């Protein structure tokens, strides 16, 4: 199991915001995501701070992998939300590009179109597709 990293002062999802006032509230359970985009941003931040418990809790029960571990050598470098599309009251799609680096390697782009649904009033991540460049 991966140890949680020290909490940052700036939020990984938006360095202009403080972590404690942004995704930190969702990770602590004091605030629920109001939209699929907010949940996606909080999940990106959870990867950045190593919050495996939050990632599991925000993943749809039918698609959450049985085993999930975070590589401590991965450093998340930035997030760009490209679009957020509601598909009715309880479904949404968020397209984003996240950049990360493994160890001392070159930066890598992760481009994903993620699906989210609302279950019992709470947004959860279902799955994602990786569009071709």
- Domain housing 52: 10-129
**Cα–Cα distance measured from residue 13 to residue 132, given in angstroms and rounded to the nearest whole number:** 24
pTM over 0.85: yes
Domain-embedded: residue 30: yes
Count of domains forming the chain: 1
Residue 79 has pLDDT above 80, yes or no: yes
CATH number at residue 82: 3.10.450.50
Smallest Cα–Cα separation from 113: which of 131, 88, 133?
Answer: 131
Per-residue pLDDT at 5: 57
Strands 74-86 and 91-102: antiparallel
pLDDT in tens, 88-101: 999 999 999 999 99
């Amino acid at each position: 199991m991966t140890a949680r990293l020290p909490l940052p002062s700036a939020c990984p999802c938006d360095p202009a915001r403080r972590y404690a006032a942004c995704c930190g509230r969702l990770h602590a359970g004091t605030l629920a995501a109001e939209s699929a985009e907010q949940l996606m941003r909080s999940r990106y931040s959870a990867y950045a701070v190593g919050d495996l418990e939050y990632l599991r809790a925000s993943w749809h029960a039918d698609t959450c992998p049985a085993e999930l571990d975070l590589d401590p050598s991965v450093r998340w470098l930035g997030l760009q939300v490209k679009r957020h599309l509601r598909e009715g009251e309880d479904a949404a799609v968020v397209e984003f590009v996240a950049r990360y680096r493994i160890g001392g390697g070159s930066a890598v782009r992760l481009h994903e179109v993620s699906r989210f649904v609302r279950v019992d009033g709470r947004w959860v991540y279902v799955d994602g597709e990786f569009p071709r460049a």
